[in-house]
Structure 1
Amino acid sequence: MAEHFDVVVVGAGISGIGQGHHLQTRCPDRSYVILEARAGMGGTWDLFRYPGVRSDSDMHTLGFSFHPWTAAKAIADGPSIRAYVEDTAQTHGVDKHIRFGIKVTGASWSTPDARWTVTATGPDGPLTFTCGFLCMCSGYYSYERAHAPAFAGAADFAGRIVHPQFWPQDLDYAGKRVVVIGSGATAVTLVPEMAKDAAHVTMLQRSPTYVVSRPAEDSVANWLRAKLPKKLAYGLTRWKNVLFGMYFFRMTRKQPEETKQRLLGMVREHLGPDYDIAKHFTPRYNVWDQRLCLVPDADLFQALKGGRAEVVTDTIDRFVPEGVRLASGQTLPADIIVTATGLEIALMGGVPFTVDGAPVTLADKLQYKGMMFSDVPNLAFTFGYTNASWTLKADLVARYVCRLLNVMAKRRKAIATPRNTDPTLTPEPFANFTSGYIQRAADRLPKQGSKKPWKLNQNYALDIMALRFGSVDDAMEFADPAPIAERRAA
């Protein structure tokens, strides 16, 4: 027997909890359930358990708009974020709607029935759910697989090789020599944290990434919270950080070289004039062509200056029993190698979809307002900003879904489908972003269009106008199939 809900939400991370809250406050007459494959909520913050795991966004923008972050640290560690997500769900009653241990395996849409049939596996076997609207809040990467290049000689290495996504809790690196392969957010987090106990940590990178230091605590936020009601203080801090982020992003686009030199100058201030900034901290791309790496309180730079860690920029020839041999001929000795080599894209959890029996190929679809797909009815997905906090976009998507549902109820329409009828519209890449995880999956990702509402803004202010105040009729087809109309008449 299929269990029916008005809305099925897939994923109990930040996106899913936010969607659940907005559904019950803005669409209180709609039933909903959140299906979560794991045993706990939190998504990314429940999965990743490597040393020092933390956000690279401040918690005043990564946090929920409706549940203030009140801790002193604005750059929070993973366990604190997970606890915050759990507290939010419990405080607002969203936790009562979560079904844990249920992994969605497929979803099929029937136009005559105006509903999705969602198949899943649970602790006791196969399950089926039906719903009028489906919200995919399952993130953008695979939880089961990570990007793990095949390194020649890996079987010869005498030590232990680990990937941060599957961190072994029994790993003892105290007094050990560690090589961390990678230069992204995970690597710059791991290196200073592991350097506290390891004999030595080497960050081995093929090419540099922009690294920016900022205080772990937001002094303005803490001052406001001491003077004002916490909700008001949180809202003011949120907008302060949003506006600064938008201003900084705009500056990187208007003055790319000046911004680049300013960031490199800040790194030089931390590491001194003799450090080879050009080799180890100067990327080949412009600022915000990829996501910046944030280091709180300059912890990475402190580890480098203290001699507990180093950065090596080179390519790998092969693994050898004693460590990693580089193309330059140098061998980096290691007892442990950490392959912080990135994520494997799996948009919407890699779930297969069909519409009236026909498979949905995402690569053939256009994104509608960055949260639906062309010709796919009653389906929303959440993909956060690449140049700002994930939650800012997730919150707007959740609110828009509620707007759409309420319009459908008011008009007594069961189906909402984005349709492109503009012959002059041309497809463009999924996102204007050069990060490896996006480029590796480019041929499998949906496209954006050359015009609104199919073009991504990557701008919170513009998305507020489009998703909170913009017309829901913009390139949207509303329908009510004959069988449904007949049932209502009867």
Structure 2
Amino acid sequence: MSQQHYDVLIIGAGLSGIGTACHLSRDCPDKHFAILERRNRIGGTWDLFRYPGIRSDSDMFSFGFNFRPWNGFKVLADGESIRQYISDTAAEYGVSERIQFGIDLQQANWDSQRQCWELRGEQDGRPVRYSCDVLISCTGYYDYHQGYLPEFPGIDQFGGQTIHPQQWPEDLDYSGKRIVVIGSGATAVTLVPALAEKAAHVTMLQRSPTYVLSVPAQDKISAVLKKFLPEGLVYRMARKRNIKLHRWIFKAARRWPGFVRRMMLRGVRKALGNGADMRHFSPDYQPWDQRLCAVPDGDLFDAIRAGTASVETDEIETFTEDGIRLKSGKELPADIVVTATGLKVQVLGGMTLKVDNQAVEINRRLTYKGVLMEGVPNMGWVFGYTNAAWTLKADLSADYLCRLLNHMRREQQAVFMPVDREGCKEHESVMAALKSGYVQRADHLLPRQGTRYPWRLMNDYERDRKILLESPIDDGILNFYPRPKKRMPIAQEAASEAEGVTD
């Protein structure tokens, strides 16, 4: 079994992985790197999800890469367009040929003596091994194999079809069908109007409401400006505008939650028209305690007004042969039930992380500047924002990692490792600011927050940008270590080991 060695290995060929690879290609051209992807296509999330209407829930000007702006005027782009954007970006920056597909990694172990990571996994059922000086995880935070599915009473007696959006059948014909979509998050509000175009009727069944915000489907301002200004300038202006607008909305929601709530509910009431039943759209929490759901040109509200879709706020008593009986006693007939019940969180794509063959308990570690892992050498963690477009933080993280690698090259250092010497760890996780169900269920899996920066996430693009792109790399918290004077070449190390040796 051969072992391939790289300066840098990136895990994941989705939005974060391709973005990080492009940053490396631009800013660290001396680095020999590769991308290891479990699936057989580029795109990550945007290749996995194929359900009707799949689209971004962030505007594309801020969701696109900072080095390659989104070049259209659709505010919330469809999934295939986003996947194509990722693929085109990879091709433009020459990273497509660096991707190795079908690599299912099971373990990564840092060997302090050799000062490198050793990775083990499988490809087409055959064992594979890699080693690298620096490991960068771009795996996102949920399980690609399966989503979250609660235990529904009586589901075995249901005579129709049940589908989780994460495993959407490509050949599903739902024309003229009665459909119940269980859920109230971004997936549900996307599915309902898309399914309603062909289904007999679609009911969104939610246990509790979510804030739903209508946004323009097209950026008409930028479309007009493009007639008078250079295209690149127009896209940069739109990106800057939208980043500031989203930050203002988030800050306003935190400072004046009652006012922002009233404004959001007023927009829903106007979109639904007279006689709207607002209890289906009036959450019992404040804006941004959970992510907001954006719908283009109010398509969800249009479907409800047209009578092709409806909303029920209740709990399930049991599935029946013909549908779902609610605790209120109401029956919802259904031919198809879509369980848009959320994500199952998974860290590092399910890979076991070790340092010198000792398992790293990630839920007991802090993150440094939201990019590195406390006490874990030469590892980057690219994790986007949860209160803004994911890519904004992913881009900053990749930029920072390139700065760090170039600093190490100049200073002739081989290893970096952040160390918490002051005992800053708290009990809450890095996603504790969100009260969403999937975050609460995953609290025991995620890294911890610290009492102060750099161990505490700010979730503030302006501040993060200044710190990650401008502040000194060597801050006294991030430790550096030189390479030993004598180091056996990786190829020789690998050759000296007998095949099949285990830890």
State the SS of the aligned residue for 1:443: coil
CA-CA distance at 1:98 after TM superposition: 0.7
Range moving further from structure 2, 219-228 or 117-126: 219-228
Range moving further from structure 2, 195-204 or 57-66: 57-66
Question: What corresponds to 1:476 in structure 2?
Answer: 478
Task: Name the amino acid aligned to 2:397.
Answer: V
State the SS of the aligned residue for 2:375: coil
Q: Give TM-score scaled by structure 2 length.
A: 0.95
Question: Runs of 5+ in structure 2 lacking a partner?
Answer: 489-503
Counterpart CA distance in 2 for 1:398 and 1:230 is 26
Does the CA-based 8 Å contact 2:346-2:445 persist in structure 1?
no
Counterpart CA distance in 2 for 1:440 and 1:199 is 35
CA-CA distance at 1:427 after TM superposition: 4.7
Task: Name the amino acid aligned to 1:129.
Answer: Y
Question: What corresponds to 2:83 in structure 1?
Answer: 82
Question: What corresponds to 2:456 in structure 1?
Answer: 455
Aligned pairs for 1:225-236 (under 5 A) are 225-236=226-237
Runs of 4+ in 1 over 3 A off after TM superposition: 423-428
Task: Name the amino acid aligned to 1:73.
Answer: K
Q: Deviations over 1:329-380 (max 9, x none)?
A: 1110000000000000002212101001110001110111112111011111
Aligned pairs for 1:289-438 (under 5 A) are 289-423=289-423, 426-431=426-431, 432-438=433-439
Does the CA-based 8 Å contact 1:62-1:391 persist in structure 2?
yes
- Taking only aligned residues, the RMSD between alpha carbons, in angstroms, comes to 1.2
Task: Name the amino acid aligned to 2:185.
Answer: G
State the SS of the aligned residue for 1:438: helix
Question: What corresponds to 1:248 in structure 2?
Answer: 249
- Structure 1 residues 112 and 215 mapped into 2: Cα distance closer, same or farther (>3 Å)? same
- Structure 1 residues 229 and 425 mapped into 2: Cα distance closer, same or farther (>3 Å)? same
Does the CA-based 8 Å contact 1:374-1:418 persist in structure 2?
yes
Question: What corresponds to 2:141 in structure 1?
Answer: 140
State the SS of the aligned residue for 1:145: coil
Q: Deviations over 1:208-261 (max 9, x none)?
A: 000000111111222333333332222111110000111111100110001001
- Structure 1 residues 109 and 424 mapped into 2: Cα distance closer, same or farther (>3 Å)? closer
Aligned pairs for 1:254-265 (under 5 A) are 254-265=255-266
Task: Name the amino acid aligned to 1:207.
Answer: S
Counterpart CA distance in 1 for 2:121 and 2:233 is 42
State the SS of the aligned residue for 1:141: coil
Counterpart CA distance in 2 for 1:179 and 1:215 is 27
Does the CA-based 8 Å contact 2:347-2:445 persist in structure 1?
no
Range moving further from structure 2, 145-154 or 296-305: 145-154
Q: Deviations over 1:251-294 (max 9, x none)?
A: 001100010010000000011241111x1001111100100000
Counterpart CA distance in 1 for 2:382 and 2:231 is 28
Aligned pairs for 1:9-408 (under 5 A) are 9-123=10-124, 125-277=126-278, 279-408=279-408
Task: Name the amino acid aligned to 2:317.
Answer: D
CA-CA distance at 1:124 after TM superposition: 6.0
Counterpart CA distance in 1 for 2:329 and 2:427 is 45
Q: Deviations over 1:119-156 (max 9, x none)?
A: 12113611111100001011110000210111111110
State the SS of the aligned residue for 2:52: coil
Does the CA-based 8 Å contact 2:366-2:425 persist in structure 1?
no
Range moving further from structure 2, 402-411 or 203-212: 402-411
Task: Name the amino acid aligned to 1:333.
Answer: P
Does the CA-based 8 Å contact 2:425-2:449 persist in structure 1?
no
Task: Name the amino acid aligned to 2:105.
Answer: V
Percent of pairs with identical residues: 48
Task: Name the amino acid aligned to 2:440.
Answer: Q
Counterpart CA distance in 1 for 2:333 and 2:417 is 57
CA-CA distance at 1:486 after TM superposition: 3.2
Question: What corresponds to 1:5 in structure 2?
Answer: 6
Task: Name the amino acid aligned to 1:250.
Answer: K
- Structure 1 residues 426 and 50 mapped into 2: Cα distance closer, same or farther (>3 Å)? closer
- Structure 1 residues 128 and 463 mapped into 2: Cα distance closer, same or farther (>3 Å)? same
Does the CA-based 8 Å contact 1:418-1:477 persist in structure 2?
yes
State the SS of the aligned residue for 1:142: coil
Question: What corresponds to 1:485 in structure 2?
Answer: 485
CA-CA distance at 1:424 after TM superposition: 5.7
Does the CA-based 8 Å contact 1:61-1:391 persist in structure 2?
yes
Counterpart CA distance in 1 for 2:164 and 2:481 is 48
Task: Name the amino acid aligned to 1:365.
Answer: R
Does the CA-based 8 Å contact 2:109-2:357 persist in structure 1?
yes
Does the CA-based 8 Å contact 1:427-1:450 persist in structure 2?
no
Counterpart CA distance in 2 for 1:241 and 1:485 is 51
Counterpart CA distance in 2 for 1:224 and 1:47 is 35
Task: Name the amino acid aligned to 2:261.
Answer: K
Does the CA-based 8 Å contact 1:203-1:309 persist in structure 2?
yes
Range moving further from structure 2, 419-428 or 453-462: 419-428
Does the CA-based 8 Å contact 2:28-2:402 persist in structure 1?
yes
Task: Name the amino acid aligned to 1:407.
Answer: H
Q: Deviations over 1:406-461 (max 9, x none)?
A: 11111111110010112466453322110111100101211011101011011110
Q: Give TM-score scaled by structure 1 length.
A: 0.97
- Structure 1 residues 113 and 71 mapped into 2: Cα distance closer, same or farther (>3 Å)? same
- Structure 1 residues 425 and 40 mapped into 2: Cα distance closer, same or farther (>3 Å)? closer
CA-CA distance at 1:33 after TM superposition: 0.1
State the SS of the aligned residue for 1:53: coil
Q: Deviations over 1:23-55 (max 9, x none)?
A: 011110010000111111011100000000000
Does the CA-based 8 Å contact 1:428-1:450 persist in structure 2?
no
State the SS of the aligned residue for 2:245: helix
State the SS of the aligned residue for 2:244: helix
Counterpart CA distance in 1 for 2:203 and 2:441 is 26
Counterpart CA distance in 2 for 1:115 and 1:220 is 51
State the SS of the aligned residue for 2:195: helix
Counterpart CA distance in 2 for 1:11 and 1:230 is 31
Counterpart CA distance in 1 for 2:372 and 2:170 is 39
Does the CA-based 8 Å contact 1:425-1:451 persist in structure 2?
no
Does the CA-based 8 Å contact 1:115-1:133 persist in structure 2?
yes
CA-CA distance at 1:71 after TM superposition: 1.9
Does the CA-based 8 Å contact 2:142-2:343 persist in structure 1?
yes
Counterpart CA distance in 1 for 2:243 and 2:379 is 28
State the SS of the aligned residue for 1:442: coil
Counterpart CA distance in 1 for 2:424 and 2:322 is 59
